[in-house]
Structure formats: structure tokens, C-alpha cells
A and B are shown apart, each in its own frame.
Chain A
Amino acid sequence: MKSRWAKYLIRWFFAPHRADELEDDLDELFQQRVELIGLRQARWRYVRDVISLMRPSLMRPSLLKQQLTNEYPQPFFLTPTMISNYVKIAWRNLMRAKGYASLNIAGLAVGMAASALIFLWIQSELTYDRFYTKTDRLFQVYNRDIFSGNAQVWGTTPKPLAPALKQDYPDIEDAIRFRPTGFLLTAGDKKLNSEGAYADPSFLNLFDFSLLAGNREKVLSGNNGIVITKALAEKLFGTTDALGKVVQLDHKNSFSVTGILDDLPTNTQFSDVSFLLPWTAFVTPSWDSDGWASNNNYTFVLLKDKVNSDLVDEKIKRLTANHLKGVVEDVTNRQIFLHPASQWHLYSKQENGQLTEGKIVTVRLFGIIAALILLIAAVNFINLSTARSEKRAKEVGVRKVAGAQKSALIFQFISESVLLTFLSGILALLLIVLCIPTFNDVTGKQLSLSFGSISFWGAALAFVLFTGLLAGSYPAFYLANFQPVKVMKGISQSVHAVFSPRKGLVIAQFTFAIVLIIATLVIKHQINYAQNRESGYDRNNLLFSYLSGDLPDHYGSLQQELIQRGAAVAVSKSLGPITTISSRQWGLSWPGSTKADKDIEFDRFAADADFLKTTGTKLIAGREIDVRQYPTDSSAVLLNETAVKTMHLKTPIGATVSFDNRNWQVIGVVKDFIFASPYEAINPVLVHGPKGSVPLSWTSIRLNPANTTAQNLELAEAVFKKYNPGYPFEYTFADESYKAKFADEQRTSLLTSLFTGLTIFISCLGLFGLAAYTAQQRTKEIGVRKVLGASIPSIIGLLTKDFIQLLVIAFVIGAPIGWYAMDQWLQDYNYRIAIGAGVFVLTLLSSLVIVMLTVSFQAIKAALVNPVRSLRSE
């Protein structure tokens, strides 16, 4: 009937002896009015009456207390004079305790700098592909299908999809094809290998990257126009004024520059693109059909305004499937769907045929870490301020006696901490500027501070204020609560309480540090473990080169001459570098294989000859492929140990394996080697001769160990230039690309170490201050103990004992958390360490050492003081 809030309001607001009566009046009037003017009107009047009753004369006396007790009007405490007074007092307090202030400022500065850097990173992640004017209408088309019981999604689509979507669905404003590509670009005597893409003309309409020159609508509509980025124009022509100039691709077709793109921002998935070619210039390679069965392109879709993408999903769901009927065996589960631009970067992890949270998890984790680092810095501030509070207690007492209101005192202390934070902020800004290049190296980003923008300074100011409030509020309330009678009499707050908030905060700091130390150690162990894993081939002196330009035609001579000139001891033509999987194959059959075996996926590799000799893989049985000596070897195949095991072959040599519509003869078995990730279990591998459907367009070269690498490269370059003068000699070392497999983990490791270091540093600053304070407070006690014969070590023990206790408690809390978190992390790796007790022992020992080092300086100082000095005053 009546609203409940009104009842609470009345109870809270009114003097208890009036509340009953007023409530009755309200009820009675309400009853009458329901009959007179109807329920709705009555309710409305009820509300009006409640509001009209909010008068001082009816108010609860406690709400009026201040008015009743203050007979003299209080001056408003936020007058300019008072504010300048607060600042002055704050400054004097700062100057009086320089050591304490610098500890505080340094801790806050480091904390603020670290968390601000992380926030910058987070911001760049969150804005990824979200800055187009049409972002909310942009989608990428994905496929979904079920393969051997597993739902899978993938983002490459058939060529006819985009035109079909655009034509047949009125909800879709535009749909374009997009296909990344790479070319050797030539302009005059400048040659440059570059990444770019083919795209339909309206690409720049969907993605509004800024075009410095050229007509947005037309740049991609011709047949032989090319759009290049500013950076590429400068590299090729030495100027950005390149409209109309000619670029040759792979020494074949010439394109004239129709547009100059501003360099693409780093936070887009197109950031690698340095040139765009019109889709019509795209020539379909032999292995890539124009039909609906071949998925090799991206399709981007622009929906019309206010169109619900779920409804569109429902309409287009069966589009590819319908075109694939009769072409592909089973299309019952094939679907297409739209993936919104705002989720491309952060929500693109495949799980059970869905795209779900991916990088967003890392972003959240970093957010938590940033917040915790800031919090730890704030905790230092809180601890040091409350510890020092007795020094300020008299001041509080005097101010209160002189008539200061509590709110005025709170404001004073908060403004003091904001001032301190402000100084830290300046220092933090300096730190950020110094650290940003390194941070960018580590994270692979191009973050920067935009000093020119107002919003940047606004955000910085807000950040400083926030930190100031975070750090300063508790001490302010704590100090402002002191009772003048007590502090003026000299009664101190209890220092030795069993549990004080201060101790709790120190434990929290330590716990965080311990979790991070555990994380650092586990990550380091895991990387070492994987790095020491036997790779199964010889990574030294091995390099790969793509057979570009004329090289495929002259491969025989190239191979011979490399060996003759002494640059190499073995050369092999292959499907790709041995450090990456270039192809996968399923649908194999062999003697004794079942229908289910067709689902087994093999990593596929192909070579013409000298595969073992070049890569250094070990032969276990049979012989290796050699098409030069045995021409029939072009349909020979080698298996790795895992393949033999998976296929249950008792006598593998001589067995016939069928795939690619051909029979292959097994001629040898090689020892397992790491093709893909050193963290994963090894897959079954096929190494077959050149007769397959895959092109052998790479060469692996085993350099001559008798020469230096530089000599070998020089010789090799001469040979490559001889047969392929139009192209630069480009190569990759096997050991480098193997090392790159650890890049992600190395980055994680580096960042965790960094966070750990920071956390420990900031915590230690606080600890240092606290220890100094404790030592100072117990000067007299120590003096008495020394006079009575206590030894110096026993006094040091006395002072460090408390902190060690806190550390041990933190360890007990932090160790399980760290163990759990890292166990979860390790689940992602097949080839992984078990977390042993060693990690925890090491964590405890190292943190003990750190705490001891931090605290003992103060303890020793205190213990060495001559008691005559400390006791003289009494």
C-alpha cells in the first residue's frame, strides 16, 4: 500500500516521540484520500506529505546536535586563509621529517609510476580496434563446424561470401574481402620486402584510417593502383609526396601509387599492413580455388544502423553450407556467424566452437596487479603515517582545544597527503618517461604520454587525487579522532596490540610479495625446463631461406654451388623451416588402420634429400630420403617415433601409407624432434618426398663448420645473388627462431620479475620506515636493557622478531595462493614441471633475507646507540 522507504525515512528522521503520531496522521489521510481521489493520487499526496514533514522542528534531536551544542557560529573551514594555512603546515611537517617524507614520496612515486604504466597498457588493449567511427557496426565473419566431435571456429572464409552477403541481405550495408599478402616492392633501386593486403574498394570506408593523399572512395577501385603508408613511401621514395609514382611487385607487375595512408595505429589488427592493393588485382594461385570450398580470405561486414547482429546471424547461418552441398562431404554442422569488432582483440579465444574471453583475462590480471601495487604503496603511506601519529597527536589536541572541527582536521590531513602525492606524482611522471621505452620493448607496444592533451593532464590529476585520498583518508580519520584530553595528557595509543590494522596491512603486503616471488620462480623453472628439452635436431649453424624469384628454377645449381664454394656442408629443399609446422594432414590410411584413425592429425613436412644431414635429426631405422640417388624416393616417407607408436606399426619400414590420393613407401624412422612448441607433447610426423600436393619452397642450409658464420654468409649471399639478382638474400637462423618459441614466456617472466621487484622494493621502503619508527620508539627500553646487560644480538633479535613473525604469517597465507595460481598457469603446458617444495623454501628464505636486511639496519643502529645518550633525559 504505502511505500516502505517512507516508513524508514520517518523512523530515521523524526524524533521518536513524534514518529508514531506522524505516521498515524499519514495513514489516516491516505485512507481518506484513496476513497476521495483514487489510489494513485493518494500515493502521490502521501509522498508530498512525507516530504513536507521534513522540517527541523520535527527532526530527531541527534540530527540537530551540532546546531544545539554550538552556541557560537563556526567559521567555514575552507576559506582561502585556512587552505593556505593547511598547505603551510603540511610543508613544514614535510621539511621537519625529511627522511620519513622521502620514504613516503619515493614509495608512492614508484607505485604510481608502475601502476600508471600498466594502466596505459590496459588502455591500449581496451581500445584495440574500437576507434573506427563505425566500430559498433563492424563484424568479421567466422565459420563454425564440428570435426571428429570437436566444435571449431575459424576466421578465413570463401571468396564468394562477401559479394553474396552484400547482395542478398538488406541488413548488410557492405561486405568486403580482405587477404594479407607479402611482396618484394621495387621502386628505382630501392628494394623492400613488405607486408600488405588485397582488399575490396570500400575497405577504407569500413575502416576509416586517415588517408593523407588520394580519394578514399576511389583509391582501391582501379586495377593497378596501390595505397601505401607514409612510412613505406618514405622508405621507397624518400618522400611522402609519392602519388602517381610506380612500384613493382616481385619484379612482375607495376602499380602506381593512388593513395598515401597515415601510418596505422599499433592497436589494430591491421597494424602490419603497409600497402593495400585492389581486390581485382588479385590473381588466384593454383592451390586456392574461387569456389565456396576454399577458405583463404577474411570477410568483413558493415551492418546497417540499428540492426541486431544476432538476427543477422540467424539469417546467414546456412549460407556457406547451402553452397557446399554436394561439394563437401558433410555440411550439416557448418555455420557462419558475425564476430563484433569490439571483441576481435580481447574476446577471441576458441573454446568448444565459441569465441570467448581471451586476452581480456590478461588485461584483468594486469589490472588487479596494478591496483595491488598502488594499494601497497598506499599501505606504506598509511602505516608510516599512523605509526608517526603520536608526533602529531599534540597538534591535534591543541587544534581541537582551540575549537577546530573534526571535519577541518580531516581536511587538513588529507590535503597534506594530497600535497605529498602531488610531489610523488611529479616524480612518477619522470619515472614513467624514463621507463616507457623499456616497457614498450618488453610489451611490444608503442605507448606514449600525450603531454599535449588536456584529458591526459585531467587523468593525471585525477589519478594523483585518487591516490592521495586512498593513502590519506585512513590516517586523516585516525588522527582527527584523537581525544584532546587524552593526547594532551600524553596517553598514547597502545603500540603492542596483538592485532593492529598496521600489522594486518604489513601481512597483506608480504602476502602479495610472496605470491609474486613464487610466480617468478615457477615461471623461470618452467622456461628453463623447456629450454633444456632435447630439440631432436642441431640448431647451430642451420639456416632457412625462402626460394624467392628465380631460385626455384635454379635450385639444383644453387644447392651444388653452395657446397662447392664451401659455404655449406648440406642443403635440402623443404616444405618450410623445421622450427614451424607448415602443414597438417589427416585422413591417412595404412595397413591395419581403422576408420577412426583417419581423424589422427599428422604434422607434415616434405624434403627432397639430405633432410637428416642438413637438420641433424637422428635416424633410428631404415634410410633417409634421397631423390638425387633414388628417383622413386619422391614418394618415400619417413615417420617419427611417435607416428610409429600412434600407427601401431610393428615393422614400419616398407609399409605403405596413403594420403594425398597417393601411396607412399615408408623408408625410415627418425627420432622425435620438436616441430612446434617445446611445451607440447610431440605429434606424429610425416616427412615425405617432393611428390605431394605441397610446394617445397624453402631451403635449409647446414653451414660449413670449418668457416666462421660471417664467411659462410658472405659466400652464400654471392651464390644467391648469382641466381636471383633481383632479390635480397634473406635468411633465418634455426637457433633464433627456436628461441622465439620462448618469447611469450620470457616476456611473462620478465614482467613478473619486474612486478615482484617493484613490490618488494615498495614494501621494503615501508618496512624500513616502520622499523625505524619502532626502533626510535623503543630507544629507552633498549637503553635500559643494555644497561642491564643485554647483548647486541639479543637486541637486534628483539627488534626484528616482530617483523619475522608477520612475514611467516604472510608466507602461510601466500604460499597456497601462489601454489594454486601457478598450478593453474602450468595446466596450459603439456611439458611442464611439478611445483616442488624447493620453490617454497627458496621463497621463504629469500623473503626472510630481504626482511632481515631491511629491518636489521635500523635494529643494529638502535642496538649500537650508547645507552648514556638514550637515557640521559631521565
Chain B
Amino acid sequence: MKGTYLGEFEEVVLLAVAIRSGDAYGATVVTEIEQQMKRSVNLGAVHSALNRLGEKGLVTSELGGMTAERGGRRKRLYSVTAAGRRALEEIRQVRNQMWESIPNTIWM
């Protein structure tokens, strides 16, 4: 396949990062996915996916500022890069295209 291939889980994680933009880190991504998809997700899987997305250049991370709520420690905040956004849009576009190609008759 040409370009960057996104796995299903990677796609979900990427979406979650986008949803939580500005507040996306391991734990929030996990809760976001769990709430949206009503399924339990392993933290390790999420971090692994974030890593891979980072390697592919679809997310970047930076160490956020300290907050009292996090016990004074810094957290790694993820954000979707331009490439990431393009990848999501491409997927969405492909999906839409495919939806539209379904002949109406089969639903009858």
C-alpha cells in the first residue's frame, strides 16, 4: 500500500489524540477510547501505538508544564501533526467514497 498505512487501533488512538487535543496523554487517550468505544483498552497498547505514530511522524510529543494535579511531575502531551491530520482525512475520504459506492438496492 502506498503512503503511510494506519492500523485500525492506531487510527482510533490518533482520533483520540485529536479529540483531546491539548490534553492528550496516555491516560486521557485510554479513557477517551474506552468511553467512545465502550471497550477496555490496555495502557501498554496505547503507548505502543503512540510510539509508532510518533515514528511515522503522525503525532508529536512535548513535555507539558507542571500541574498540581499531577503531583508536580511533567507529562508528555501528544498532538496530531499536519501529516497526521492528512492521514485521518484520507482515511475518512476513502471511507466516504466507499460508502457512497454502495448501491442503494442492497439495503432494501
Contact = CB atoms under 8 A, between A and B. Distances in A.
Given A22-B26, A25-B27, A53-B47, A48 B73 contact: no
B38 to A, nearest CB: 12
B25 A32 contact: no
A57 B51 contact: yes
Given A52-B42, A52-B44, A53-B44, A24 B51 contact: no
A25 B44 contact: no
A29 B34 CA distance: 11
A51 B27 contact: no
B70 interface: yes
A53 B71 contact: no
A26 interface: yes
Given A24-B27, A24-B70, A24-B75, A29 B43 contact: yes
A52 B25 contact: no
A32 B73 CA distance: 19
A58 B75 CA distance: 16
A28 B47 contact: no
A754 B47 CA distance: 68
A21 interface: yes
B31 A32 contact: yes
B74 A20 contact: yes
Interface string B28-68: 00110000000010111101100100000000000000000
A53 B51 CA distance: 12
B48 A24 contact: no
B76 interface: yes
Given A28-B27, A52-B42, A22 B75 contact: no
A49 interface: yes
A57 B73 contact: no
A50 B29 CA distance: 16
A55 B27 contact: no
A26 B43 contact: yes
B97 to A, nearest CB: 34
Contacts of A64: none
A49 B42 contact: yes
Contact of A49 (B25, B31, B44): B44
Contacts of A323: none
Contacts, number: 58
A57 B47 CA distance: 9
Contact of A24 (B30, B42, B44, B71): B71
Given A21-B25, A29-B30, A51 B44 contact: yes
Interface residues of A, number: 20
A45 B27 contact: no
A28 to B, nearest CB: 4
B71 to A, nearest CB: 7
Given A29-B30, A57-B51, A52 B73 contact: no
A58 to B, nearest CB: 6
Nearest to A23: B73
Contacts of A29: 27, 30-31, 43
Contacts of A54: 44
A57 B52 CA distance: 9
B26 A55 contact: no
A80 B15 CA distance: 53
Interface string B68-103: 001101111000000000000000000000000000
Contacts of B27: 24-26, 28-29, 32
A52 B44 CA distance: 4
A715 to B, nearest CB: 101
Contacts of B71: 24, 27
Contacts of A25: 25-27, 30, 43, 47
A28 B30 CA distance: 10
A498 to B, nearest CB: 50
Nearest to A29: B27
Contacts of B42: 48-49, 52
A55 B43 contact: no
B30 A55 contact: no
Contacts of A51: 44
Nearest to A30: B27
Contacts of B30: 25, 29
Interface in A27-61: 27-29, 32, 45, 48-49, 51-55, 57-58
Interface in A52-80: 52-55, 57-58
A32 B27 CA distance: 10
Contacts of A55: 44, 47-48
A35 to B, nearest CB: 12
A49 B44 CA distance: 6
Contacts of A20: 73-74
B48 A57 contact: yes
Contacts of B76: 21
A26 to B, nearest CB: 7
Contacts of B70: 24, 28
Given A25-B30, A29-B31, 10 more contacts: A21-B76, A25-B26, A26-B43, A29-B27, A29-B43, A49-B42, A52-B44, A57-B47, A58-B44, A58-B48
Interface of A: 20-22, 24-29, 32, 45, 48-49, 51-55, 57-58
24 contacts: A20-B74, A21-B74, A21-B75, A21-B76, A22-B43, A22-B47, A24-B71, A24-B73, A24-B75, A25-B26, A25-B30, A25-B47, A29-B27, A29-B30, A29-B31, A49-B42, A49-B43, A52-B43, A52-B45, A55-B44, A57-B47, A57-B51, A58-B44, A58-B48
Interface of B: 25-27, 30-31, 40, 42-45, 47-48, 51, 70-71, 73-76
